Each structure stands twice: as C-alpha cells, then as structure tokens.
Amino acid sequence: MARTRFLAKSFGDNRDGTRAGLRSFLENLQPKTTGVIVVPTLSNVKDTILVDVLGEDLSRQLIKNREITLQDGATIQLCSIATLKNHKYADSYLALWAPASTIEAVEQLTSWSTATVVTWLASDADKWLTDHAVQIIFDDGKG
C-alpha cells in the first residue's frame, strides 16, 4: 500500500504549524473513511490551540464525543497516545505535537495511507525524515 507522509516542523504551540497540519489532514481524508487525531493527552486538549484552529463548535463536539462525522461521511476520531492502540485501523492520522515515540507508533500501524505530523520540537521528526519520504508542509525555521 502506498503511503504519503506530511510534516509540519513546528516548535511549541505554533498556530501556523498546527493549522498546516490540520489542513493537510482534512484535505487528505477521503469521503467515508476514518481519520484519527492523536494528541499527547486528552485531559488537556480543550485548552490547546486545536480549539482555535478547528473552531469552537467542531472541537467541542470532537472533545466531548471523541468522534465526529463530516458532511462527506468521513469520520474523525480523537485519541491520546495512550489510547492509540484502540484506533489502529484508520485510513489517515494526524499526530499533533508529536515526540519521536508518537511518530514511530503511528508509523508502525498498518492500515493508513496518509499520516500528518505536527512536531513540538522540530528535531522530533529527524529519524522519520531520514527513514521515509516525507513532504514538509510547514517549517517555522526553529528546528
């Protein structure tokens, strides 16, 4: 199966990097497929820039229900790295503020066709960039 990888080399809570990652994730999520947004922890997600980028209404529904269905039938699920094992058969992943260990965990899943990573530290994606063909969609230059 062909896989496409996208990277927003971001530093910290960079809105532009998060926005670029979310845009890539949504653009590559096909109708009637499943995408998973992986965050470090679910308990703090309501206080992150994901809410600003995704919008208050949509993010509130996603955080509350852990799943939303878009108009085209695509489903977006929300999980933490601790619960990723329960979401291992999605078509697309967005790993937000991902350390190297999260990037590796997503890479090891077998069913996805697209993965987008937004780093917290740009260097967290160094091994991923070395090991795979990755399209850089954002680089804040701080890495």
Distance CA 8, CA 111 (A): 22
Q: What is the token pair recorded at 9? A: 């080399």
Helix H or strand E segment including 53 = helix 49-54
Q: Mean pLDDT, to the nearest integer, of 88-98?
A: 96
pLDDT at 70: 86
Q: What's the mean pLDDT in 86-109? A: 96
So what's the pLDDT on residue 143?
58
Contact 120, 38 (CB under 8 A): no
Average confidence score pLDDT of the chain? 91
Measuring CA to CA, which residue among 102, 50, 99, 44 is closest to residue 76?
Answer: 50
- Domains of the chain and CATH, by start: 4-134 (3.40.50.300)
Q: Is the pLDDT of residue 111 over 70?
A: yes
Confidence of residue 65 (pLDDT cuts 50, 70, 90): very high
pLDDT at 46: 73
Residues 125 and 133 sit within 8 Å (Cβ to Cβ):
no
